[in-house]
Amino acid sequence: MAFETWFIAPLSALISILVGLYFLRYVNKQDSGTDRMKEISNLIRSGANAFIRREYTTLAVFVAVVSILMLIFLPSPVWQTWGTTDQWKNFQLALAYVFGSSCSALAGLLGLNVATKANAKVAQAAKSGLNRAFPVGFRGGAVMGLMVVGVGLFGISVVYWFTGDPSIILGYSFGASSLALFAKAGGGIFTKTADISADLVGKVELGLPEDDPRNPAVIADNVGDNVGDVAGMGADLFDSYVASIVAVMILGLALDSITGNANLFIQIPLVFAGFGILSSIIGALTVRVGKQGNPGNALNMGTYVTCIIFGVTTASATYYLGYDWRIWGAAIVGLSAGVIIGVTTDYFTSEDKAPVLKTAEASKSGPAINIITGFSYGLRSVLLPLIGIAIAAAVSFKLLEPLGQQYSATIPYAPLSFAVFGIAMASLGMLSIVGLTVSNDAYGPIVDNAKGVAEQAGLSEEVIAITDELDSAGNTAKAITKGFAIGAAGLTVIALLAAFQEIVRNETGTIISFDLMNPWVLLGALIGLAMPAVFSAMVMLGVGRNASRMIDEIRRQFREIPGLKEGKPGVRPDYNRCVDIATRGAIRELMPASVVAIVATLVIGFVCGIEALGGYLVGSIFSSLLLALLMANAGGLWDNAKKLIESGKYGGKGSDAHKAAVVGDTVGDPFKDTAGPSLNTLITVMSLIASLFAILIVNYNLLKLLGIQ
Amino acid sequence: MAFETWFIAPLSALISILVGLYFLRYVNKQDSGTDRMKEISNLIRSGANAFIRREYTTLAVFVAVVSILMLIFLPSPVWQTWGTTDQWKNFQLALAYVFGSSCSALAGLLGLNVATKANAKVAQAAKSGLNRAFPVGFRGGAVMGLMVVGVGLFGISVVYWFTGDPSIILGYSFGASSLALFAKAGGGIFTKTADISADLVGKVELGLPEDDPRNPAVIADNVGDNVGDVAGMGADLFDSYVASIVAVMILGLALDSITGNANLFIQIPLVFAGFGILSSIIGALTVRVGKQGNPGNALNMGTYVTCIIFGVTTASATYYLGYDWRIWGAAIVGLSAGVIIGVTTDYFTSEDKAPVLKTAEASKSGPAINIITGFSYGLRSVLLPLIGIAIAAAVSFKLLEPLGQQYSATIPYAPLSFAVFGIAMASLGMLSIVGLTVSNDAYGPIVDNAKGVAEQAGLSEEVIAITDELDSAGNTAKAITKGFAIGAAGLTVIALLAAFQEIVRNETGTIISFDLMNPWVLLGALIGLAMPAVFSAMVMLGVGRNASRMIDEIRRQFREIPGLKEGKPGVRPDYNRCVDIATRGAIRELMPASVVAIVATLVIGFVCGIEALGGYLVGSIFSSLLLALLMANAGGLWDNAKKLIESGKYGGKGSDAHKAAVVGDTVGDPFKDTAGPSLNTLITVMSLIASLFAILIVNYNLLKLLGIQ
């Protein structure tokens, strides 16, 4: 073939980056409004930049230390490979690691940059109507979406181009993941510290409305939306996206060696990912809302359009490139499961369905019953997504398994290798449209901030109402994109588990088992079960501690600044101190939990061996799927129960029911925006560490040393 | 041998029943105090009896239906075995099932009977001092403890005597478990409905003290302690105890067939259980408190004495009966793990350790921060117990595995069979002293009720202080016994999982795998993961709904009964209506969750086959271990954080911090006393169902029918 098919990936990625830059220019050209609006926007931007600068400085140290360690130890200790052809592998891996973390940081910075500018521009455009403001918000979000997939896939293509070795791409993926873990935890702690403190003192104690400029934490709260929900979320999905592609490539390489093809199965994920990006770009360009249109529907329509384009283009590719149709089938199974999970998840957080209605009603009996009810519905909500993931995994497994039958006489594990490649393709299918889902997700905090700017700058009621409508559209779209994120994370980690098994098989020849009747697997699984819980606890306790400090500060300002509470003209709170408390707290708290999780993974491996490590991954995957679903949905429904009451139901604003619902919402904040979403990244990081250290662990572990294993 | 060694079990069981009856007589002989005390005690007793009568009537219908179904279908459909020697098996199994549920009910009724009488007697004895009151409370609890193990083990012995077939004992165990599931859920919903409502209206809204006679829910609250914490908990541990013995017997039978011994390994669990009972009796008889003694220490000392006696007597038995020392070792590993888990669990709920202190301190920032902090520590608390279970399982596995090596040439699975027997022995070791731990546990609600009677009957401050001291001793002891219960549940379900595997192997010759790279196992595991969450949600929503109804009723009484709030002499609330609301609500809510769990287990099996069912068990075991630990510990620490504040710290009673802590305590109530403890029973029931239906499912399931599997 004259044209290398895998070029589809880097080309699509470049187009994505270019369209992203075009959107960036589009947003930059918009008017930022009055001086007061610019001032507020500047406060938010400088707060966000200050935090990001400090966060990335801390992370740079971490990345430097890890890359030196990798240079020495991975994939093999340098003293073993010195002088052999493998001596450059350590260098390649460390370089890929630094490259991966840099790419993730770059995508995050670009997205954050436009998001912190777009807020005032959306508010200003809202003066000319909804259909003028909507594209500014959406395109602002799309910068993040297109950059995440563009930079991510381009980076993979570059590493693949230079090395042709998916085990080096693993290093790139690990770079992205470790950055995402810290960015997600740090941003999550920042945003919820500010949100909780602003709510508890402002709304509950003093009865101020949301985004009231008298509240000293209001700027910190807006900064939090950007560093948590834009930059953190972007890093998170960058990580999942890259990890899912790498998992398929590793499993594809195994198929290439089984079937004797050169570069067939390893390139399929790149081709599919390329078409996924092109579909997302077209989807993003078609998103628009008419004069009377509904922005929520517009966003969801974009998702469906993207799905259909992806289905059609990959079908054509399958036909022209002669891929087996079952592979396409697995990707479509994944994509469909994503949509179905999204729609069912929507049920638990919709304001007109039983869970939110009953939770809001329960608020009349006080905060405790609100918490019990919301938590219970959160527990119940895990069922359907888990069934969805389970069926998608089983179907894609059985779909591809028969392709391996013909090789099973000589290679007994061939059917299994094809089957797990199927699961990995399903996860890739789900994540293929991530360019668009991230765009929708980043749209949310931008228009939320626009509303904040409008409120603080004292714009007219009509303008505020338009930003409100834009904001609630973000929530509608979020349900479906969240379904994708959760489902994809579930399938991706299963694919990573299979990749881990494949790496061990490839290096040692033995197929490690995940059978729980193996005592080491059982041991690892039981301990793994605890890790996501411990990690969640650590970040949430961080939020709690940090919020306590900020609450004290807010109370102090209201006590000591004369005229602040009464809203005397010209009296302004000291916003910067709150931003500073959130920043310092987040930087201090973001490290321990992540480091504990990383170190625990290594300890299990180097003490109890590779089988225990496999069990450990299984245990943590199960535990984090359960906790992530519970936390995301419970948090979302508490939030909406509060909003329902604020809309006038069950007593309305200021009633006892409202106060109870605010307690529920506050509890839900770190659930849904700090701990819950970090768990996806956590298990990706753990799985990547396990894969990277697999060979070392097989050779050196305590139980083997003691002769027990 | 002239004396059959397994007679040790029924003889010890009979002695246990006799000592239990002796304690019953001892308690009955005590003075019940003044007329007012008798009146209150009678109110509690008649409320409890009314509930139990209705609950058992409902359950009798369920038991009747299930036994008829068993008669027709289990272990094989009656039309297949008709006319063969197997035709009586269905009859035996159904009979064993009815026998098991009746034995469990009997033990529960006896325990409840003495507990509802002992309350006033303890209060009366407290007038003569702590060391007079303590034995009344302890012996009242010991009736339950000794009856549970005595009746449980005697029943097993009887079924074994008549059939010699552990698969029939499985029916007995299923009878006990299904009863326990309903009793635990029903009792748990009753007790927390009353507790939450009494607290929220009485304490929070009106500022009444605990157990104030003006509170219409106060009697319902006291009734709840008895039906939930005495009867429900008794049924729960009856179930775990029986299930663990049955699991070891099933795995022992397999060893007998491997080694060619007749009735050796199958009888070892009976011998160990027998010595466990004897140790518990001696332990119970030695529990006493001197004039200046500390009742909490007395209870814990009893536990340690029992452990030591168990270790010594079983070592002697091992020596004289020529058992392999490794078997004894596995039991001791289990017992030690129980103690260690108990001590570490204690850390998270002790009033002088960081988790409770920080949660209490966090209450100053309001209920939301209290909830976030307590919940986070609850998440963190799962780590050490899970490590304890993991190590106990791995050590006991590796300890017995070598015994199977000599058979592995002809029987490849022999080492695994020995190894899982080791895990089962560890679970038996942990549960061997359950006679004493139940005694300690049942002591708690008795002295709690005694305090209630003392408060309501207006006894002197000194008497109330003594009952208070007795009460807090119950909490001290509870930490260690809870550690045992949790650890034992974890190991028991792993043993049941192995028993399930053994049953399938025995009947079909194939060893089913729990390998997650099998798509059906993975499918089952992901769905199984959701079930404990769904079950917890259903019972907690039941509590929430029921509490809302009772809160309305309490508010109504305070509004409509003149002079009630002010405490006008002679004015009494209508206690019965509250008891009635709790009863009707609990009866209505106890069925759905349990039936859903049972039906879901069957659906997975009959639709997706036996491997999916195995995965399903794995998923639910993991999920319920995680949730049970989280809920038990978070609930306990919220409770103690509230108590700490009530003792005067962080603002003391009536402060905002106290109100926040009451919200946390209320959220924790259904966590620790309704959902959490039901989960142990839930997974036991699921495992037993899987084992009972294994043969049917192997032959008839949809995927097999469709040719997919």
Residue in A377, A397, A519 nearest the CB of B394 = A519
Task: Tell me the count of A-B CB pairs closer than 8 A.
Answer: 238
Rounded CA-CA distance A545/A549 in Å is 7
Q: Which residue of B has its CA nearest to A389?
A: B526
Place of tokens 């140290």: A61
Q: Which residues pair with A515 in a beta bridge?
A: B515
pLDDT reported for residue A709 = 67
Q: Give residue-wise pLDDT tens across range A195-230.
A: 889 888 887 788 888 788 888 888 888 888 888 888
Q: Are B376 and A515 inside 8 Å of each other by CB?
A: no
- Residue A343 near chain B (CB below 8 Å): no
Residue-wise pLDDT for A371-407, tens only, equals 999 999 999 999 999 999 999 999 999 999 999 999 9
* Residues in chain A within 8 Å Cβ distance of B519: 393-394, 397-398, 401, 419
Sort B602 into a burial class: Cβ within 10 Å, 0-12 / 13-18 / 19+: middle
Q: pLDDT-derived band of residue A660, with 50, 70 and 90 as boundaries? A: very high
- In 3D space, the residue among A681, A194, A257, A301 whose CA is nearest the CA of residue A502 turns out to be A257
Chain B residues whose beta carbon lies within 8 Å of the beta carbon of residue A609 = none
d(CA B372, CA B614): 35
User: Which residues have CB under 8 Å from B253's CB, separation 6+?
Assistant: B166, B265, B266
d(CA A553, CA A561): 12
- Transcribe A580-647 into DSSP letters: HHHHHHHHHHHHHHHHHHHHHHHHHHHHH-HHHHHHHHHHHHHHHHHHHHHHHHHHHHHHHHHHHHHT
Chain-chain contact of B382 with A543 (C-beta, under 8 angstroms): no
Dump the DSSP string for B318-363: HHHHT--HHHHHHHHHHHHHHHHHHHHHHHHH-TTSHHHHHHHHHG
User: How many Å lie between the alpha carbon of A296 and the closest alpha carbon of chain B?
Assistant: 31
Q: C-alpha B323: how far from its chain's center?
A: 31
Q: Answer for the pair A176, A152: CB distance below 8 angstroms, yes or no.
A: yes
Which residues on A lie below 8 Å from B630 (Cβ)? 533
Does residue B519 sit at the A interface (CB-CB below 8 Å)? yes
Question: Over 50: is that where the pLDDT of A2 sits?
Answer: no
CA distance B383 to chain A (A): 5
What residue ranges in A328-477 does DSSP mark as E strands?
none
Q: Which residues 652-671 of chain B have a CB within 8 Å of chain A?
A: 662-663, 666-667, 670
Q: Which amino acid is at A110?
A: L
Residue B202 near chain A (CB below 8 Å): no
User: A93 Cβ partners below 8 Å, 6+ apart?
Assistant: A70, A74, A75, A167, A168, A170, A171
Q: Taking CB atoms and an 8 Å limit, are B537 and A376 in contact across chains?
A: yes
The pLDDT tens digits for A689-705 are 999 998 889 888 898 88
Query: pTM of the entire structure?
Result: 0.94
Question: Residue B666: closest CA among chain A residues belongs to which residue?
Answer: A368
Q: CA neighbours within 13 Å on the CB side: how many for B477?
A: 31
Residue A152, SS3? helix
Residues of chain B found within 8 Å of residue A398, distances taken between Cβ atoms? 519, 708
- Extract the tokens encoding B609: 């086959």
Rounded to a whole number of angstroms, the distance from the CA of A59 to the nearest CA of chain B is 26
Residue A300 in this model has a pLDDT that exceeds 90: no
Say if CB B128 and CB B270 are below 8 A apart.
Answer: no
Per-window interface: B 542-561 vs A, CB < 8 A? 543-544, 547-548, 551
Mutant choice from B201, B344, B369 vs A, greatest count of A C-beta within 10 A: B369
Nearest residue to A166 via CA among A87, A77, A227, A75:
A75
Taking only Cα atoms into account, the Rg of chain B, rounded to an integer number of angstroms, comes to: 25
For residue A397, give the nearest of B387, B490, B519 by CB distance: B519
* Distance of residue A324 Cα from the nearest chain B Cα, in angstroms: 21
CB nearest A514 (choices: B365, B366, B515): B515
Q: What is the pLDDT of residue B490?
A: 85
Using a CB–CB cutoff of 8 Å, tell me whether A393 touches chain B. yes
Q: How many CB atoms lie within 10 A of CB A409?
A: 8
Tokens linked to A491 = 């399938």
pLDDT of A403: 92
Closest A-chain CA to B513: A515
- How far apart, in Å, are the Cα atoms of A312 and each of A275, A315, A318, A439, A526? 10, 5, 10, 22, 44
pLDDT at A330 over 50: yes
pLDDT higher than 80, residue A484: no
Residue A231 has pLDDT above 80, yes or no: yes
Tell me which residues of chain B have a pLDDT lower than 70.
1-3, 479, 709
Q: Which residues contact A326 (CB under 8 A, 6 or more apart)?
A: A399, A400, A402, A403, A422
User: How many CA atoms does the CB half-sphere of A405 hold within 13 Å?
Assistant: 6
Chain A residue numbers with beta carbons less than 8 Å from the beta carbon of B670 are 372
Answer yes or no: do B663 and A368 touch at CB < 8 A: yes
Q: Are B334 and B473 in contact (CB under 8 A)?
A: no
First to last CA, chain B: 50
A514 touches chain B (CB under 8 A): yes
Distance from CA of A276 to the nearest CA of B (A): 27
3-state helix, strand, coil in chain A (%, to 5): 85, 0, 15
Looking at chain B, which residue has its C-alpha nearest residue A663? Answer: B368
Give residue A322's region: left, alpha or beta (phi > 0; psi -120 to 50).
Answer: left
To test the contact with chain A by mutation, choose from B192, B370, B375, B534 the residue with the greatest count of A C-beta atoms within 10 A, namely B375
B592 at the A interface (CB within 8 A)?
no
CA dihedral defined by B520, B522, B523, B527, rounded to 10 degrees?
Answer: 140
Nearest to A368 among B196, B379, B501 (CB): B196
Tell me the Ramachandran region of residue A567: left when phi exceeds 0, alpha when psi lies from -120 to 50, beta otherwise: left
Distance (Å) of CA B278 to CA B142, B310, B327, B526: 13, 8, 19, 43
* ipTM, 2 dp: 0.93
> CB B386 to CB A543 under 8 A?
no
A603 shares contact with chain B (CB less than 8 Å): no
Q: What is the mean pLDDT of residues A618-628?
A: 94
Sequence-distant (≥ 6) Cβ neighbours of residue A294 within 8 angstroms: A473
